Amino acid sequence: MSEAYTIGIIVFDGVLTSEIIGPAEVFAIASKQDWFSGASVLLIGIDPQPTICTEEGIRVTVDATLADDLMLDVLLVPGGNDMSRLLQHDKVNAFIQKHAERAQWLGSVCAGAFVLGNAGVLDGMQATTWFGGEASLQAQFPAIQVVHDKPVVVDKRRITANGGLVSYQAALVLLGQLSSTAHAKEVYENLGLGRLSTWAEMEAAISAAQQIQAD
């Protein structure tokens, strides 16, 4: 019997579309399978509004907001071109810090790492951000061990990744931890991602993450 995971993705006006769609699609596909049935994906708005508008102009309906009493197993923070509002948002910080204690996993894509860093939940851990933003992340949050040469970084129960389509890779690596490598491969094949990267590359990333958990 599969475990009924609840996966939350923070969304906001100006979020980059691919960085919410990537993980949402990976986990939504998985939730239709017997081995991950009962899992749900929630898009969580930072404000009490029914929709948000992405950087690319796509309107997205939210499922919940920070004000709701949510108990998430996974919390993911995507990026945007302007993250200043999230960095100044006390309720975002509090929400992340609460789930740092309760959730199994916290993660970010792209500039979402700055939001996790601002909440202090990456201190002493390896992490990455958007390609080219590593030096800024290190300068702003010196307690983070910033990694420059990996698209997806796992450290304990934190997963961070570069932006854009790397969000799919990060979600598959995380799915490999929540379920299995074989199930992650099933979703990988369902999405046709073999035309973009080889399964061997994906499997190596999942195996590396599993080894970190074993250590």
- Tens-digit pLDDT profile for residues 110-122: 999 999 999 999 9
- Tens-digit pLDDT profile for residues 65-109: 999 989 999 999 999 999 999 999 999 999 999 999 999 999 999
Range of the domain at 179: 6-214
Q: Is residue 165 included in any domain, yes or no?
A: yes
Q: Is residue 200 included in any domain, yes or no?
A: yes
Q: Is residue 1 included in any domain, yes or no?
A: no
Q: Is residue 78 included in any domain, yes or no?
A: yes
CA 157 to chain centre: 12
Residue 2, pLDDT > 70, answer no
State how many domains the chain has: 1
pTM for the full predicted model: 0.92
Percent of the chain, pLDDT > 90?
A: 87
Sequence-separated (6 or more) residues with CB below 8 Å from residue 142? none
The CATH number that applies at residue 200 is: 3.40.50.880
Cα dihedral angle (176, 182, 183, 188), rounded to 10 degrees? Answer: 90
CA 178 to chain centre: 13
pLDDT at 202: 80
pLDDT at 1: 45
